[in-house]
């Protein structure tokens, strides 16, 4: 089974013009090869400092700053994307790290960009208190380019921070339910939506992710599967075939691995592929269940993809 690995990094078209990016012209200088550069959120705060060369060297050890500064821009690369928290539109401070590097907080929009990275492969991790951690498989980073990750949503409910939304989280929420910051028994970690009270919304966050386990794997911009097939799966299928045990349809690797009864995609043969047959109501309960149907062109996209050998790219 091949890993969910793109062969072609996607250049982030607006990377150059992103407002947060402009603030961080000096960011490259502080992230040497192999070290995550500054995320845009922190970049905004540090703009003034970074634009002053003297202060820059004062803040960071001189040898590293000088060494990185001598690197041509094309020798480094960047990885950018967006992480959202379940049920929340705006937020800041989701921590994103490359490899074992220091986590950088994302901007308020969830947007992050790690630059000044050494070309090669990097593994990203995103986490936020009370939310399941997301990890990416190896992400390619090409010199002078920005690899754009697909947007990713962190699911909430992990109060005990064991990367699982389990009974312990429910018990902890139950104990703190109905209390607010100033009251006795308030559990700050159980206040997932950070409203100052452990309320119905926290219950919904835990309830909707109950029995999910992390870390979730971040989908990569790996070409055809992610751009054509995955959006359809996300629209109709991953609410059930998501992160729980059984058939998962939220990444190329998982889709090709199949379910308890084995593969659901037979490359080159849609007529033998449960993934396609179920959409037509054949070979078992129609998918998705409950009378919803895919548009005929969506079914055709899946059929053609399987017929073409179910390529990742």
Q: Which member of 259, 272, 280, 299 binds ligand HEC (CB under 6 A)?
A: 259
Q: Are 11 and 148 in contact (CB under 8 A)?
A: yes
Which range, of 5-13, 93-101, 211-219, 286-294, touches ligand HEC by CB under 6 A? 286-294
* Shortest distance (Å) from residue 294 CB to ligand HEC: 6
Of the two residues 204 and 272, which places its CB atom closer to ligand HEC in the complex? 272
Binders of ligand HEC among residues 207 to 236 (CB under 6 A) are 236
**63 part of the interface to ligand HEC, by CB under 6 A:** no
Residue 167 contacts by C-beta under 8 Å, 6 or more apart in sequence?
none
**Residue 274, interface with ligand HEC (CB under 6 A)?**
yes
Q: Which of 138, 240, 299, 307 binds ligand HEC (CB under 6 A)?
A: 240
In residues, how long is the chain? 313
What DSSP string describes 139-205? EEE-TT-EEEPPPEEEPB--SS-SSB--HHHHHHHHHHTT-BTTSTT--GGG-TT-SSB--HHHHHH
Question: Closest by alpha carbon to 21, among 148, 139, 135, 154?
Answer: 148
Q: Judged by CB under 6 A, which of 205, 287, 306, 310 binds ligand HEC?
A: 287
Query: Does residue 239 interact with ligand HEC by CB under 6 A?
Result: yes
Task: State yes or no: residue 275 binds ligand HEC (CB under 6 A).
Answer: yes
Q: Applying CB under 6 A, which part among 50-58, 61-69, 86-94, 260-268 lies near ligand HEC?
A: 260-268
Select from 128, 278, 305, 310 the one that contacts ligand HEC (CB under 6 A): 278
Q: What are 9's strand-pairing partners?
A: none
| Contact residues for 258 (Cβ-Cβ < 8 A; gap 6+) | 247, 264, 265
**Interface with ligand HEC (CB under 6 A), residue from 284, 300, 308, 311:** 284
Q: Is 84 in the site for ligand HEC (CB under 6 A)?
A: no
Q: Which of 264, 270, 305, 312 binds ligand HEC (CB under 6 A)?
A: 264
Q: Where are the alpha helices (DSSP H) in the chain?
A: 19-22, 27-30, 40-50, 53-59, 62-70, 167-176, 200-209, 224, 230-236, 252-257, 274-277, 296-307
By DSSP bridging, strand 134-136 and strand 124-127 are antiparallel
Which stretch, 78-86, 92-100, 210-218, 270-278, contacts ligand HEC (CB under 6 A)?
270-278
Is residue 50 within 8 Å of residue 121, measured between CB atoms? no
**Residues forming the site for ligand HEC (CB under 6 A):** 236-237, 239-241, 247, 249, 259-261, 264, 274-275, 278-279, 284-285, 287-289, 294
């Amino acid at each position: 089974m091949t890993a969910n690995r793109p062969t072609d990094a996607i250049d982030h078209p607006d990377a150059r013009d992103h407002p947060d990016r402009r603030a961080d012209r000096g960011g490259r200088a502080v992230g040497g090869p192999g070290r995550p550069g500054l995320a845009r959120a922190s970049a905004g705060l540090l703009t003034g400092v970074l634009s002053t060369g003297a202060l820059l060297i004062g803040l960071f050890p001189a040898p590293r700053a000088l060494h990185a500064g001598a690197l041509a821009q094309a020798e480094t690369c960047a990885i950018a994307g967006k992480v959202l928290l379940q049920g929340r539109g705006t937020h800041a401070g989701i921590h994103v790290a490359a490899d074992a590097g220091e986590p950088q907080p994302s901007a308020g929009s969830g947007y992050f960009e790690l630059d000044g990275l050494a070309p090669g492969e990097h593994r990203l991790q995103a986490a936020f208190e009370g939310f399941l951690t997301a990890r990416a498989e190896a992400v390619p980073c090409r010199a002078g380019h920005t690899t754009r990750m697909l947007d990713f949503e962190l699911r909430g409910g992990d109060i005990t921070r064991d990367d699982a939304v389990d009974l312990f989280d429910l018990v902890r929420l139950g104990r703190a339910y109905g209390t607010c910051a100033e009251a006795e028994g308030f559990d700050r970690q159980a206040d997932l939506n950070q409203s100052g009270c452990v309320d119905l919304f926290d219950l919904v966050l835990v309830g909707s992710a109950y029995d999910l386990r992390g870390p979730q794997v971040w989908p990569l911009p790996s070409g055809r599967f992610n751009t054509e097939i995955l959006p359809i799966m996300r629209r109709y299928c991953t609410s059930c075939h998501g992160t729980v045990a059984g058939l998962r349809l939220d990444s190329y690797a998982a889709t090709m691995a199949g379910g308890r009864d084995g593969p659901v995609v037979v490359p080159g043969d849609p007529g033998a592929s449960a993934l396609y047959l179920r959409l037509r109501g054949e070979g078992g309960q129609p998918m998705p269940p409950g009378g919803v149907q895919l548009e005929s062109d969506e079914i055709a996209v899946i059929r053609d993809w399987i017929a073409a050998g179910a390529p990742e790219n």
